[in-house]
Structure 1
Amino acid sequence: MPIRHSIIHRIDKKPDGSPSILHLAAAPLVSTPGQEALHQGLNETYNAKQGKVWGLFHEESGAYPFSRWLREYLASELDFTAFTTIATEHLKRLLDESNLATGAPVLIAHYTQGMTDYVFIALLHETESVVIEDDLRASVVRNVDAGTLHFAARINLSEWQNNPASRQYISLIKPKGGSRAGLAFRDFIGCQEGIDGPGETRTLLKAFSDFVESEDLAEEAAREKTNALVSYASSQSKLGEPISLEELSGLIDEDRPKAFFDHIRSKDYGLSPEFPADKRTLNHFKRFTARTEGLSISFEAHLLGNKVEFDQGRSQLVIRDLPRQLIDQLKRDATSR
């Protein structure tokens, strides 16, 4: 993960309600093993975060100036230090208005991963610990906890610059409970939601369930395809990369790599070609499948206890809210007897 530029400014805030104080770095950080380890740890923590917002910039305006400054930096009209200084001053004003209880170091980094350029912005979480110096005196030191992130965003610069129609080049940790500080950080980035990750993931799983049913697959084959989907989607989520429907289709059925993709398009599920996987939705996805003596049963785990009830003592399933098509078939059969 080559880091082009990285800098840390600090917003100091006392809990007495007084305005915060901004301490600006004079120059970007010099690359060191410690800096690399910090970035790597933050990147892993960010990728593992669930429930992120995926979206795009609001139109440039006085209320949302960050994208203009970023554009000027990329055009070499601002150097990295000037760009981050202006941006952090703006962030300080927004956080003061939101009554942020405590301050934090502000990390802004421009880095490359593979063929893609990113800008990453985070308010770092610090902890204090006591160390014993060589002269045996105790000192309090601040440590950055790379495993904790509450305010962070990542901008895919390559996607933003090369795909003007994209609605998912920004990802951002979703503010918990609509916190004022979290909303202020979102407004600082100028991010509006463009892709509903959980909704897209639920639709994908529905499309997959329909596909498995239409293919009339044996239990083992259905389980293998389910595992392929969950494994791929989870891997992409861990890497911070979106699901590609064409790539997923090829993994689900190597002999017919376009089968699942064509099923999605022909049924018009409205899925984006690429979208971020929602880990929480994936974790709830599991299929129970069995076939015996002319009877085929298949349902998703999240229906258990809701539409499907298992009576363990009698080894029975109770199914509620039967599909209308099945009800009509059963009625017609009962009438004809």
Structure 2
Amino acid sequence: MPIDNSIVHQIHKKPDGQPASLTLREAELANSEALEQLLAGLIEAYNSKPNKAWGYFHEESGAYPFSGWLQQLIDQELDFVNFTAKASEQLKTLMEASNLALGGHVLFIRYRQGMTAFLVIALLHHTEGVTVTDNLDVAAARHLDLSALNMAARINLTEWKQNASSKQYISFIRGRSGKRVSDYFRDFIGCVEGANPEEETTTLLQAFQDYVGEADMEPVVVKDKTKAMSSYVSGQARQGEQVALEELSGLMDEAQPRAFYDYIRNKDYGLSPEIPPDKRTLNNFMRFYGKADGLSISFEAHLLGERVEYDESDDSLVIKHPPKGLVQQLQKKKR
């Protein structure tokens, strides 16, 4: 992922209502192996977050100036250092109005992935650890804690400029304690929440069930299509990419690559050509799970009707060919 520009500033603020202060870096970061590793780790951490929201820019105004500064950057009317300084000052101001906000290092990286340009902004914090030195001494070591990433946004610059009607070229992480924690960060970006990953994925899965059900497909065909669908959707979620319905349709049926895509369009499920995936919703769709009174059962959905049978008349579940480890435990207990 080639890096075009990067810089770090620092906002000093504690969640105690006291005024914040800002320390600005005066020049861009030089590209280095360490910076590339930071970007790779940041993107991996960002993609793994399940609590992301998607949206688009508010119309530029005094309350939401970020998109205007970003446009000036793209038009080369504003250089990267000054763009990030203005943005960081705006973020500091919004953080001062939030008692929940905690300062940190504000990282801006503009990079390219293939033909697509992105801008990622993250509020980073340090954690204390230990290391073994070259002299084999144990010493304290301070490092960025990417696992605790909870304030970050990624803007698809290419999508923003080439698709004016798009409602999902911005994504950002919602705070762990709910939307209220990250409201100031969303407002800093000037983002209007658009697509809801959970709702969009639920609608996609319902469309898939309707599609295979109306086509009266053989169980083995349904199983293959389910596997192709889940593999693609979960892969896109893992990479932080959107699900392209036309691409998904082609993976599900090479002989009729547009069949599922045309079905969705004709039935008017209200899905955009690309939707943000929600891995948790997909996982719930792909598995059956239940727990009560000391009994816990979980199995993949495609096993129902094959190795797992449910008899509604006497409310019983029959499991054929149970796991060997479980069988061995039962045999030992019986003896």
**Bin for the TM-score computed over the shorter chain:** 0.7 to 0.9
Partners in 2 of 1:151 and 1:16 — Cα distance?
19
Q: What runs of 5+ residues in structure 1 fail to find an aligned partner?
A: 289-299, 318-337
Partners in 2 of 1:28 and 1:72 — Cα distance?
18
Structure 1 residues 250, 130: CA separation in 2 closer, same or farther (over 3 Å shift)? closer
Partners in 2 of 1:14 and 1:45 — Cα distance?
24
Equivalent in the alignment of 1:67: 67
Q: Does 1:8 align with 2:8?
A: yes
Equivalent in the alignment of 1:265: 265
Structure 1 residues 235, 134: CA separation in 2 closer, same or farther (over 3 Å shift)? closer
2:41 and 2:146 in contact (8 A); partners too: yes
Q: CA deviation at 1:26?
A: 0.9
1:230 and 1:282 in contact (8 A); partners too: yes
Normalising by structure 2, we get a TM-score of 0.82
Please tell me the residue identity of whatever aligns with 1:83.
F
Structure 1 residues 247, 142: CA separation in 2 closer, same or farther (over 3 Å shift)? same
Partners in 1 of 2:246 and 2:158 — Cα distance?
21
RMSD (CA atoms)? 2.6
Count of aligned residue pairs for this structure pair: 300
Partners in 2 of 1:314 and 1:253 — Cα distance?
39
Q: CA deviation at 1:29?
A: 0.7
Normalising by structure 1, we get a TM-score of 0.82
Structure 2 counterpart SS, 1:250:
helix
Equivalent in the alignment of 1:159: 159
Q: CA deviation at 1:143?
A: 0.9
Q: CA deviation at 1:271?
A: 1.3
Structure 2 counterpart SS, 1:45:
helix
Structure 2 counterpart SS, 1:176:
coil
1:131 and 1:138 in contact (8 A); partners too: yes
Structure 2 counterpart SS, 1:217:
coil
Please tell me the residue identity of whatever aligns with 1:212.
V
Partners in 2 of 1:57 and 1:86 — Cα distance?
17
Partners in 1 of 2:102 and 2:54 — Cα distance?
27
1:98 and 1:180 in contact (8 A); partners too: no
1:77-116 → structure 2 map (5 Å cutoff): 77-100=77-100, 102-116=102-116
Please tell me the residue identity of whatever aligns with 1:116.
T
Partners in 2 of 1:265 and 1:101 — Cα distance?
43
Structure 1 counterpart SS, 2:148:
strand
Equivalent in the alignment of 1:213: 213
Partners in 2 of 1:269 and 1:16 — Cα distance?
47
Structure 1 residues 235, 208: CA separation in 2 closer, same or farther (over 3 Å shift)? same
2:53 and 2:174 in contact (8 A); partners too: yes
1:41 and 1:147 in contact (8 A); partners too: no
Identity %: 54
Partners in 1 of 2:287 and 2:259 — Cα distance?
20
1:52 and 1:174 in contact (8 A); partners too: yes
Structure 1 residues 220, 29: CA separation in 2 closer, same or farther (over 3 Å shift)? same
